[in-house]
C-alpha cells in the first residue's frame, strides 16, 4: 500500500499541471451520438454556472463499452461519469460499482423520469443512472410510397402486413427497397433487432431454467420470416447494415419502411439531412397477434463510478444534463424536435412538444415496452432486446454473427440456430447456470 501511494505521489509530482487541473475537472466518457455531441456544445453553460470544468472522452459505441467496462471492473478510476445503457446499469449497480443517485435536488424532480426508464436503470429500486435520452423502436415509413402502393399503414400493423407492404413498395429500378432492417452483427445492432422481433413471434432467449431456446420453432419462424422478407424487399448487403447504414439509406430515399430506434425520427424528419423529411409517417412496431410487439426499450444514461473523488461535482453535472432546464435550453436554440427525447414525462405533457410529429408515437412505443415481461412465455431475465446478465453481451454478439452469416447467404437458418444453441449452452454452463 505504501509503495503504491508513493508511486502515485511520484507520478502526480511529475504531472503537476494535469493533476492540478484535475482537482475541479470532471472526466466524462460518452458515446458519439448526435444528442451527446450537442450536449458537449452546451457544457460551457454548466461550467459558467458552477465553475466545474468538464473534459470529454467521446468514443464510438463499441470502443466506449470496451473502455468503460475495463475501467470499472479494474476500478481504474479514469472517469468521473460514464455514459452507459440499460444493459450495464442494473448489473454494475448490483455489483456496487455505481454511486446510487439518491438525494437529488427538489427541482430535479426525479419522479418525472418516465417509469419505464427509471425502472430499467435501477437495481432493487435504487436509481443508478439518470437517462439522458430514452428510446423504443417503431416503424418509420414513407407515406408517399405507401400511397403509391395503394396501401394504408394501420397504427399498429402486423408483421404480415409489413411484409406485403414491403413487397408492394419495392421498386428495384428506382433503387427503392420496401424495407430496411438491421442485419449487422453485434448484440447492440442486429442482435437487438432480431431479439426484439423474436419476442413478437413468441420466442425467448432462455426458459425459466436458463436453458437456451434456439432449438424451439419460434426462433426458426422469426429468422425465416426475416430472411424471406429481406431477400424479397430489403437492400443489397443488409447483413452489414446497422442503425447508421439504414439511417443514411432512409435519408437518401432508398427505403420504404424502416423499423428502428425512435430517436431516428428527428433525423429522418430534419430537412437539412433528409431528402424525404416531408413524407415520413410513424407506426407502432409490428406484432403477430401473440400479445407482444417487437419494440425494444433503451436509454443512454449517465452514471457515476463508485470511488470517484468528485462525486458531488459529478452529481451536479448529471442533474444539469438530464434536467428539465437542459431540455428547454436545447428547445430554445435548436427547436423542440431536437431535444433529447424519451426521458421525462413532463416533456410529453408539454403542448409545444406535442406538436412534434413523432412525439406521440415515441411515447406510445416506450409505454408499450415492458422489460419485466418481455416475452410471450415466461423468462427469468429482465430486458427486452437483451437479458440483463453479464454473459449476455458476449454470447449475443457471437449468436448475432451466426445470424448475419445467414443473412449473407453463407449458411442456413437451421445451421445458425444449431450453432447458436450449442454456443449459448456452452457459455451458460461455463458461467455456472
Q: Which residues in 96-115 contact another protein (CB under 8 A)?
A: none
Q: How far is the CB of 426 from another protein (least distance, A)?
A: 7
- Which one of the spans 124-132, 217-225, 239-247, 282-290 is the region binding another protein (CB under 8 A)? 239-247
335 binds another protein (CB under 8 A): no
- Tell me the CA end-to-end span of the chain in Å, nearest whole number: 37
Q: Which of 202, 206, 184 is nearest to 260 (CA)?
A: 184
Q: How far is the CB of 287 from another protein (least distance, A)?
A: 27
C-alpha neighbours within 13 Å on the C-beta side of residue 5: 2
Q: Exposed e or buried b for every residue in 198-210, given b needs 16+ CB within 10 A?
A: bbbbbbbbbeeeb
CB 196 within 8 A of CB 137: yes
| Binding residue (CB under 8 A) for another protein from 27, 200, 368, 375 | 27
**DSSP percent split of the chain into helix, strand, coil, nearest 5:** 50, 15, 35
| Binding residue (CB under 8 A) for another protein from 110, 331, 408, 428 | 408
User: Rounded to whole angstroms, how far apart are CA atoms 156 and 261?
Assistant: 16
Tell me the C-alpha to C-alpha distance, in Å, between residue 381 and each of 110, 165, 209, 299, 429: 26, 34, 11, 18, 16
User: Rounded to whole angstroms, how far apart are CA atoms 311 and 99?
Assistant: 8
Instruction: Please report how the helices 190-200 and 392-407 are oriented relative to each other, as an axis angle in degrees rounded to 10.
Output: 90
Nearer to another protein, 54 or 113 (CB): 54
| Binding residue (CB under 8 A) for another protein from 141, 201, 243, 336 | 243
372 binds another protein (CB under 8 A): no
Counts for the chain of helices (H) and strands (E), in that order: 19, 10
| Residues 273-302 interacting with another protein (rule: CB under 8 A) | 273
| Residues 161-200 interacting with another protein (rule: CB under 8 A) | 185-186
135 binds another protein (CB under 8 A): no
Q: How far is the CB of 146 from another protein (least distance, A)?
A: 22
23 binds another protein (CB under 8 A): no
Q: How far is the CB of 155 from another protein (least distance, A)?
A: 27
Nearer to another protein, 113 or 387 (CB): 387
C-alpha neighbours within 13 Å on the C-beta side of residue 96: 1
Nearer to another protein, 357 or 394 (CB): 394
Q: By CB neighbour count within 10 A (0-12 exposed, 13-18 middle, 19+ buried), where does 327 fall?
A: buried
Place of cell 419495392: 170
Annotate 99-123 with DSSP letters as a single string: ----S--TTT-GGGB-HHHHHHTEE
| Binding residue (CB under 8 A) for another protein from 149, 259, 395, 413 | 395
How many residues at the interface with another protein, by CB under 8 A? 79
Q: How far is the CB of 19 from another protein (least distance, A)?
A: 9
391 binds another protein (CB under 8 A): yes
Nearer to another protein, 94 or 167 (CB): 94
| Binding residue (CB under 8 A) for another protein from 50, 346, 398, 412 | 398
Q: Which residues contact 313 (CB under 8 A, 6 or more apart)?
A: 24, 26, 50, 52, 80
380 binds another protein (CB under 8 A): no
Nearer to another protein, 213 or 404 (CB): 404
Question: What is the grid cell recorded at 255?
Answer: 427505403
| Residues 37-96 interacting with another protein (rule: CB under 8 A) | 37, 40-41, 55, 57-63, 66-67, 69-70, 73-79, 91, 95
| Binding residue (CB under 8 A) for another protein from 167, 331, 405, 428 | 405
32 binds another protein (CB under 8 A): yes
- Measure the CA angle with vertex 161, ends 155 and 164; round to 5°: 140
412 binds another protein (CB under 8 A): no
Q: How far is the CB of 326 from another protein (least distance, A)?
A: 19
User: Rounded to whole angstroms, how far apart are CA atoms 337 and 320?
Assistant: 20
- Which one of the spans 213-221, 324-332, 349-357, 388-396 is the region binding another protein (CB under 8 A)? 388-396
Q: How far is the CB of 72 from another protein (least distance, A)?
A: 9
- Cα-Cα-Cα-Cα torsion 11, 13, 18, 20, nearest 10 degrees, comes to 130
307 binds another protein (CB under 8 A): no
| Binding residue (CB under 8 A) for another protein from 29, 52, 101, 304 | 29
| Binding residue (CB under 8 A) for another protein from 105, 126, 244, 373 | 244
Amino acid at each position: 500500500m505504501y509503495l503504491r501511494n508513493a508511486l502515485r505521489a511520484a507520478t502526480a509530482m511529475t504531472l503537476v499541471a494535469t493533476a492540478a487541473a484535475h482537482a475541479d475537472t470532471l472526466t466524462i466518457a460518452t458515446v458519439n451520438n448526435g444528442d451527446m455531441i450537442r450536449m458537449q456544445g452546451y457544457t460551457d453553460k454548466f461550467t459558467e454556472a458552477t465553475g466545474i470544468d468538464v473534459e470529454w472522452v467521446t468514443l464510438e459505441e463499441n470502443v466506449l463499452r470496451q473502455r468503460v467496462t475495463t475501467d470499472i471492473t479494474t476500478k481504474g478510476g479514469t472517469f468521473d461519469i460514464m455514459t452507459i445503457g440499460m444493459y450495464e446499469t442494473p448489473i454494475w449497480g448490483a455489483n456496487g460499482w455505481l454511486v446510487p443517485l439518491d438525494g437529488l435536488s427538489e427541482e430535479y424532480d426525479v419522479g418525472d423520469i418516465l417509469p419505464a426508464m427509471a425502472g430499467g436503470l435501477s437495481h432493487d429500486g435504487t436509481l443508478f443512472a439518470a437517462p439522458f435520452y430514452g428510446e423504443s423502436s417503431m416503424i418509420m415509413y414513407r407515406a408517399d410510397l405507401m400511397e403509391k402502393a395503394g396501401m394504408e399503414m394501420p397504427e399498429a400493423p402486423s408483421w404480415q402486413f409489413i411484409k406485403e407492404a414491403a413487397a408492394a413498395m419495392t421498386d428495384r429500378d428506382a433503387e427503392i427497397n420496401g424495407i430496411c432492417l438491421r442485419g449487422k452483427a453485434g448484440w447492440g445492432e442486429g442482435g437487438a433487432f432480431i431479439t426484439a422481433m423474436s419476442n413478437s413471434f413468441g420466442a425467448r432467449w432462455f426458459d425459466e431454467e436458463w436453458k437456451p431456446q434456439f432449438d424451439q420453432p419460434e426462433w426458426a419462424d422469426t429468422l425465416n420470416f426475416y430472411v424471406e422478407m429481406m431477400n424479397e424487399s430489403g437492400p443489397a448487403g443488409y447483413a452489414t447494415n446497422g442503425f447508421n447504414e439504414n439511417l443514411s439509406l432512409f435519408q437518401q430515399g432508398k427505403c420504404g419502411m424502416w423499423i428502428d430506434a425512435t430517436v431516428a425520427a428527428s433525423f429522418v424528419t430534419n430537412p437539412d439531412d433528409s431528402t424525404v423529411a416531408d413524407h415520413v409517417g410513424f407506426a407502432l412496431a409490428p406484432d403477430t397477434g401473440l400479445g407482444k410487439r417487437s419494440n425494444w426499450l433503451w436509454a443512454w444514461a449517465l452514471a457515476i463510478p463508485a470511488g470517484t473523488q468528485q462525486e458531488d461535482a459529478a452529481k451536479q453535472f448529471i442533474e444539469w444534463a438530464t434536467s428539465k432546464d437542459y431540455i428547454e435550453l436545447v428547445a430554445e436554440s435548436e427547436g423542440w424536435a431536437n431535444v433529447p427525447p424519451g426521458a421525462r414525462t413532463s416533456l410529453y405533457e408539454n403542448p409545444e412538444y406535442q406538436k412534434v410529429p413523432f412525439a406521440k408515437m415515441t411515447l406510445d412505443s416506450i409505454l408499450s415496452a415492458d422489460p419485466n415481461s418481455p416475452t410471450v412465455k415466461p423468462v427469468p431475465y429482465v430486458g427486452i432486446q437483451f437479458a440483463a446478465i453479464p454473459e449476455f453481451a458476449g454470447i449475443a454478439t457471437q449468436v448475432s454473427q451466426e445470424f448475419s452469416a445467414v443473412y449473407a447467404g453463407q449458411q442456413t437458418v437451421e445451421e445458425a440456430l444449431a450453432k447458436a444453441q450449442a454456443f449459448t449452452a456452452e457459455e451458460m454452463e461455463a458461467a455456472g447456470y
